[in-house]
């Protein structure tokens, strides 16, 4: 075996293609760095122009992937590969991948619909596709929702657009609904007056629309009051959780009971038991 012959061939190939490979790697690494810088700059410009956050996130994703694809093509071109033929192969492969990933492509279409029709935006508190929380990000394939417990829920855009969407943030005020029960032996008028006093003492409760306290049901073991107050959207959860505590403490002070379900058992004595 002529070792020197193969060594010479290796040197020739290394000198011919080694530089191209190094250049291609440099183009990709530097290009990736430039792409990240450009996306940061584009984000900064859009934020200064006060573009909506939802649109900023969406456009930034598109800009990043388009520029990264251009860098990839430049790297391939540096290797001496014909880009035209490469694009043709890539297009054919893309068609095959697209057919295999129809669900993912539907997510992209759903993302476009979300951006165009704006049923919600980044920062809104929504309920969609079984998830409830604040929208953190809307990308090409999914929407990131952060629930109250600060976990992360990733919901496909197609699931959101094909289902019901409840947006709790697109109104300035929200209604807090509760039901409070008292015993049948308690003073109904005193209980109603007490509930209204609790409402008036809370500065977060709005005067308009007017709050409502009314007997909503004569239940099996309690007289149930419908309790409805309006508050600013930002105060909703604080008011929602504060009210039951205030009602319980105030009812305790005034001797108003909050009954719990009870069952009465009546025994029937047989004739034999009566004789005995």
Both 158 and 182 in a single domain? no
Both 179 and 156 in a single domain? no
The model carries a pTM of 0.56
Both 86 and 19 in a single domain? yes
Both 83 and 158 in a single domain? no
Residue 109, domain member (yes or no) = no
Both 135 and 67 in a single domain? no
Both 186 and 224 in a single domain? yes
Both 8 and 93 in a single domain? yes
Both 128 and 92 in a single domain? no
> Nearest to residue 160, comparing CAs of 191, 124, 195?
124
Instruction: In whole angstroms, give the CA distance from residue 169 to residue 56.
Output: 19
CATH number of 77's domain: 1.10.287.1260
Both 27 and 72 in a single domain? yes
Both 67 and 156 in a single domain? no
**Interval 214-259: pLDDT, tens:** 999 998 889 999 999 999 988 998 999 999 999 999 999 999 988 8
- Domain extent at residue 206: 173-254
Q: What is the number of structural domains in the chain?
A: 3
Residue 132, domain member (yes or no) = yes
Instruction: In whole angstroms, give the CA distance from residue 46 to residue 58.
Output: 12
Instruction: In whole angstroms, give the CA distance from residue 102 to residue 145.
Output: 23
The two tokens of residue 158 are 């197609």
**Interval 24-36: pLDDT, tens:** 788 888 888 888 8
Q: Which sign, positive or negative, has the C-alpha torsion 79, 83, 88, 90? A: positive
Cα dihedral 204, 234, 248, 203 in deg (nearest 10): -10
Residue 271, domain member (yes or no) = no
The single residue listed with the structure tokens 């855009």 is 157
Side-by-side strand order, sheet with 142-146? 153-156, 142-146, 131-138, 125-128, 165-167
Q: What is the mean pLDDT of each run of 10 residues along the chain (276 residues)?
A: 56 62 79 84 78 71 80 75 63 58 70 82 88 87 88 89 87 92 92 94 92 91 93 91 94 89 66 55
């Amino acid at each position: 075996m002529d070792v020197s012959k193969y060594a010479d061939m290796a040197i020739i190939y290394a000198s011919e293609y080694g530089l191209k490979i190094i250049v291609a790697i440099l183009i990709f690494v530097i290009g990736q760095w430039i792409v990240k810088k450009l996306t940061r700059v584009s984000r900064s410009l859009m934020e200064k122009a006060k573009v909506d956050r939802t649109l900023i996130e969406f456009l930034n994703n598109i800009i990043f992937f388009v520029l990264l694809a251009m860098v990839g093509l430049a790297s391939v071109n540096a290797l001496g590969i014909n880009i035209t033929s490469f694009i043709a192969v890539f297009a054919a492969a893309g068609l095959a991948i697209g057919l295999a990933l129809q669900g993912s492509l539907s997510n992209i279409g759903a993302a476009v619909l979300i951006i165009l029709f704006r049923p919600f935006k980044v920062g809104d508190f929504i309920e969609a596709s079984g998830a409830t929380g604040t929208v953190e990000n809307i990308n090409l394939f999914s929407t990131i929702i952060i629930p109250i417990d600060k976990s992360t829920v990733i919901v496909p855009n197609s699931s959101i657009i094909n289902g019901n969407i409840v947006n709790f943030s697109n109104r300035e005020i929200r209604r807090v609904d509760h039901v409070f029960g008292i015993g049948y032996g308690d003073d109904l008028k005193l209980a109603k007056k007490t509930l209204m006093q609790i409402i008036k003492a809370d500065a977060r409760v709005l005067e308009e629309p007017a709050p409502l306290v009314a007997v909503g049901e004569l239940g099996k073991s309690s007289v149930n009051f419908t309790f409805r107050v309006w508050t600013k959207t930002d105060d909703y959860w604080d008011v929602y959780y504060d009210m039951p505590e205030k009602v319980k403490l105030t009812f305790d002070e005034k001797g108003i009971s909050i009954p719990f379900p009870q069952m009465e058992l009546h025994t029937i004595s047989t004739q034999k038991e009566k004789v005995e």
